[in-house]
Amino acid sequence: MKPDTQDLTPAQGAPGPAGADLALLRAQLEAAGCFERKPGRAVAELLFNLLGSVLAFFAAREAAQAWSAWAGLPLFVLGSFLFYRNGWLMHDAAHGGSWPGIQANRRFAALTAGILGEFPSGWRHGHNRHHARTNVLGEDWDQRERWDPTRRYHSRLAAWLGLFLFTRLRGVYVPATLIFMALRDGYYCWRHHRERFAAELLAVLLGLGSQLVFFVLLTGSWLGVLLFLLHTHVGMLYLNSAFAGNHYDLETFTPEQARQLDVLSLQSRTTRNYTGGWWTHFVFGGLEKQLEHHLFPHLPRHHLHRAAPHVRAFVTVHGLPYHEAPFWHCYMRVLDFHVDPRPGAAPSA
């Protein structure tokens, strides 16, 4: 069965000598079983995330009532973390990596996106640009602030606040929330996939509305509205942090330079994996193997580790870098990328 590639934007650039070899690498990965879909695993993971998050939120309420709000905060963050791990399921299905057929992947992507309160078609539109034009100036839409000269800060703390905890709208810093991402992707859906907009808007309203009602019922008061907003804030912090170190401070190319690079060269020079054990795999859902994902976007997340040794050997043979480092090392490099300690050089958050 062919993977769901209908909505994927092909990687752009010169064909290069590695183009034919990439087909051989794909055949090697297929022989190793790396493209095998496991729908049952996706469903089980969805149920685990939802049940785990609900239990964590109830435990947070009990801890807050028994001791203090601060006692319940870690459990609340855990609940939001588990809930937003469903984003990896939406991501996998949108790339065609969860189910054998195109329509099944689309339906599962729509289900998980609706639960999260996201527009799958709009999200896919922007995300495909990132895959096709990774770190290409003005054409990679995922991390535009890296090219904004005003997003420079005087310290790591100010950079963390300005990049991860807050976002800037029309020059004003406001708390980052996934609601802003839904608005952005809703705009993309309206502009580029208008035939799907009404259905996806309804799913978004149901998803966000259900989350809001849950927190109001959990607290028994309108304090639940604040908890809902905090919940979306934690989700945005998680998402911003998860992918920050995969590309951010690596090489950047102009569109003209990128057109001279083959797909393998562009991806290997602009993409970094995270190293780590089981906790890294759990937190990042398998997408810590980011280069493997960028070379084969429809390769299921749970097989990226299996594909990694083959990809590493392939990249090394072609004399290209295989970037990898611990997550916190990458995270600090992102902050340092935006630190300009010179007095008056740029505004701080």
DSSP string, 107-163: HHHHHHHHHHT--HHHHHHHHHHHHHTTTBTTT--TTGGGG-TT--BSSHHHHHIII
Q: How many CB atoms lie within 10 A of CB 59?
A: 16
Q: Mean pLDDT across the stretch 230-237?
A: 97
Q: What are the pLDDT digits (tens) for 204-220?
A: 999 999 999 999 999 99
* Structure confidence at residue 152 (pLDDT): 87
Quick count: other Cβ atoms within 10 Å of Cβ 322? 16
* Average pLDDT over the chain, rounded to an integer: 90
125-150 mean pLDDT: 85
The one-letter amino acid code at 297 reads: P
**Amino acid letter at 252?**
T
* Per-residue pLDDT reduced to its tens digit, 287-333: 999 999 999 999 999 999 999 999 999 999 999 999 999 999 999 99
Q: Where are the domains of the chain?
A: 18-337
Q: What is the dihedral of CA 203, 206, 212, 216, to 10 degrees?
A: -160
| 3-state secondary structure string across 250-274 | CCCECHHHHCCCCHHHHHHHHCEEE
* The pLDDT value given to residue 9: 39
Residue 347 binned pLDDT confidence (cut-offs 50, 70, 90): very low
Mean pLDDT, residues 27-45 taken together = 96
- Residue burial 12-37, b: 16+ Cβ < 10 Å; e: rest: bbeebebeeebeebbeebeeeebbeb
Residue 14 scores a pLDDT above 50: no
Q: In angstroms, how far is the first alpha carbon of the chain from the final one?
A: 50
> What would the two tokens of residue 60 be?
């947070």
Which DSSP category does 165 fall into? I
Residue 330 backbone phi and psi in degrees, to 5: -65, -40
Higher pLDDT residue, 1 or 140? Answer: 140
Q: How far is CA 96 from each of CA 2, 29, 48, 108, rounded to the nearest angstrom?
A: 9, 16, 21, 10
Helix, strand and coil in the chain, % to nearest 5: 65, 5, 30
Q: Is it the case that residue 76 has pLDDT exceeding 70?
A: yes
Distance CA 32, CA 271 (A): 23
Q: Which pLDDT does position 342 carry in this prediction?
A: 58
128 in Cβ contact with 7 (< 8 Å): yes
Q: Judge whether residue 73 has pLDDT over 60.
A: yes
| The Cα angle at residue 243 between residues 242 and 246, in degrees rounded to 5 | 130
pLDDT at 320: 93
Most confident of 49-63, 235-249, 259-273: 49-63
Share of the chain above pLDDT 70, in %: 91
Contacts made by residues 269-272, CB under 8 angstroms, sequence distance 24+: 269/320, 269/321, 270/134, 270/135, 271/134, 271/246, 271/247, 271/323, 272/245, 272/246, 272/247, 272/323, 272/324, 272/325, 272/330
Residue 121 binned pLDDT confidence (cut-offs 50, 70, 90): very high
Q: What is the pLDDT of residue 294?
A: 96
Contact 314, 27 (CB under 8 A): no
Q: Distances from the Cα of 138 to the Cαs of 179, 254, 256, in angstroms?
A: 24, 8, 12
pLDDT, tens only, 253-294? 999 999 999 899 999 999 999 998 889 999 999 999 999 999
Q: How confident is the model at residue 20 (pLDDT cuts 50, 70, 90)?
A: low
pLDDT beyond 50 at 41: yes
Confidence of residue 18 (pLDDT cuts 50, 70, 90): low
Chain position carrying tokens 């729908």 = 39
Amino acid 248: pLDDT = 85
Retrieve residue 287's tokens: 């997408």
5 — pLDDT class (breaks 50, 70, 90): very low
pLDDT value for 346 = 44
Residue 167 DSSP symbol: E
Residue 96 clears pLDDT 60, i.e. is over it? yes
Enter the tokens of residue 44.
């089980």
By DSSP bridging, strand 172-175 and strand 166-169 are antiparallel
